[in-house]
Amino acid sequence: MHGVRQLHTCKVCNKSFKSQSYLKRHQLIYGGDCQLTCVLCKKSFTKQCHLKKHQRTHSGEHPFNCELCEKSFTQQGHLKVHQRTHSGERPFICNLCEKSFTQQGCLKEHQRTHSGERPFNCDLCKKSFAQHRALKVHRSTHSEESPFTCSVCNKSFKLKAKLKLHQRTHSGERPFNCDLCKKSFTRQDYLKVHQRTHSGERPFNCDLCKKSFAQHCQLKVHQSSHSGEHPFTCSVCNKSFKLKYYLKLHQRRHTGERPYMCGVCNKYFSLKRVLKRHLLLYCR
C-alpha cells in the first residue's frame, strides 16, 4: 500500500499540485497573478483575503463590531478608522498647516488644497479634480441617464449615492451622530460642519477682507457681497440668485416638487425647514 502523497499548495490561490516542480511551473506562468474568482459576480482577485473581503459585499456580513456603539464593518481597517471618532485620535498631520485627520487618504486629499494638484481628469472634457469622487459626480453631468430610482416617490438619480441620501428623507435615518451633543445627521459632511459649532473652527477665509466662515457656501455668499454677482438665473421667470442652491429651492415653486415627507402623516414639503416646523407643531 502506497503512502499518502504530499500536495504542494500555492500560497496565492490555494491550488494544490502533485509535485514541487508543477507548483514552480504554475508560479512561473502566473507570476503571482493567479486568479481567484467570485462565483456570484465573476470578479477576479490575486489573493484569497481580497476575495474574502469582496464576498462580504454579497453576503452583507459585517464581522468587525465597535464595542462603544452598534456599528459593524466588513474590514478591520474600517473599524479602526471608525474607533477614532470615539477616541478623537487624528494621527495624520499636515506639515504645512498642522490640520490633522483620521485617515491617510483624507490627509492626502487635504494636501492638494496647498499644492493645487488635480490628478483626476475627465476624459470627455478638460476639467480636472482633486478628488476621485468629485470626478465621478462630474462625469454624470455628461450623461442624461438617471438609472437609480426611489421606490417611494419615483424620483430618479444619476448616482447611487445620491439615491441613498435621498431615501433618508423618507426613512428619517440619521446615521451620523455628534459625540459632543445628541444631534444626528443624514450626511457625514453635515456632521463635520456641525462639529465646527463646538470647535469654533472657521477654515474658509475671504481673500478680500478678514472674515472667515465655517462653511464654503457661506464664504461664497459673502464673496458675492463684494462682487454683487447673481450668476444663477431661473429659466422660467429670469429671477437670478447668488447660489445655485438658492435657484434650486426657487425652481420648486414652478415645478411643484416637494421632496421632504413627514414620516407620521405622509405630507410632502418643498423645504426642509417647513417640514421641521410641521413636525414640531403637528406631528410630534
pLDDT per position as a tens digit, 181-214: 988 998 888 898 999 999 999 988 998 888 999 8
Percent of all residues in the chain with a pLDDT value above 70, rounded to a whole number: 93
Report the DSSP beta bridge partners of residue 44.
37
From 16-20, 79-83, 201-205, 269-273, the region with the lowest mean pLDDT: 16-20
Residue-wise burial string across 71-107, b where 16 or more C-beta atoms lie within 10 A, e elsewhere = bebbeeeebebbbebeeeeeebeeeeeebebbeeeeb
Distances (CA, A) of 39 to 42, 54, 80, 282: 6, 11, 29, 52
pLDDT of residue 1: 43
Q: Report, as an integer, the average pLDDT of 11-16.
A: 68
Residue 59 has pLDDT above 50, yes or no: yes
Distances (CA, A) of 60 to 54, 152, 171, 212: 10, 23, 20, 43
**CB-based contacts of 26, cutoff 8 Å, min separation 6:** 10, 15, 17, 34
**CB-based contacts of 39, cutoff 8 Å, min separation 6:** none
Grid cell 514541487 is found at 20
Model's pTM, two decimal places? Answer: 0.48
Q: Report, as an integer, the average pLDDT of 252-271.
A: 87
pLDDT of residue 91: 92
Domain ranges, ordered by start, for the chain: 8-61, 69-143
pLDDT of residue 35: 60
From 6-10, 65-69, 187-191, the region with the lowest mean pLDDT: 6-10
* Level-2 CATH architecture, domain 69-143: 2-Layer Sandwich (3.30)
pLDDT per position as a tens digit, 25-39: 666 655 555 567 788
**CB-based contacts of 158, cutoff 8 Å, min separation 6:** 140, 143, 145, 146, 147, 148
Domain 8-61 matching CATH 3.30.160: the answer reads: yes
